Amino acid sequence: MTPINDPFSRSGAPAKAKFLLLGSADFLTESLMNRARSLNLEHVSPARLERPEISRRPASATVEEVARLALMRRWFFTRKPDAGFVLTDFPATLLQAIVFDEWLDARDESLNGVIAGPGSLESLVTHYRTLGLLLETSDLAA
């Protein structure tokens, strides 16, 4: 029997669950990440996708954001549509969240939930709360 406070209970087939973790990792999100690993969900972070290479610092924050969006777009559209994931460190801005929503719509996919950790941008929390995707951390505590 799945506990009521289990964020994975509503996600259908475990390997198809799609979650976002906003903000910094704390004990609660670490336990969720351990659970995600046990379900064979892909853990994706832009930092992990960047290849270690010597490069110059981008000229501006705009260039950096465009590069991050391009990197994440390449990952998103090359993965299998039914593959589940836990995405951390992205989206980091409201613009990235809106673009990510468009990508999900383009592939007729949806998120199972969004978990906001400490340090989450209020605009992102509000965005996902408005969409009804935000899982309150107080509801997730076991």
Is the pTM for the entire model greater than 0.85?
Answer: no
Q: How many residues does the chain have?
A: 142
Residues 142, 5: contact at Cβ < 8 Å? yes
Across 10-19, 53-62, 122-131, 132-141, the highest mean pLDDT is recorded for 122-131
Mean residue pLDDT of the chain comes to: 76
> Over the stretch 14-36, which tens digit does the pLDDT of each residue have?
558 888 888 766 655 566 666 66
DSSP string, 9-71: TTSSSGGG-EEEEES---HHHHHHHHHHHHTTPEEE-HHHHS-----PPPSSHHHHHHHHHHH
What residue segments make up the domains of the chain, in order of their start? 15-47+59-140
Q: 111, 85 in Cβ contact below 8 A? A: no
For domain 15-47+59-140, give the fold: Rossmann fold (3.40.50)
List, in sequence order, every residue forming a beta bridge with 20; answer none if it has no partner: 87, 114
User: What pLDDT sits at residue 37?
Assistant: 62
pLDDT value, residue 114: 92
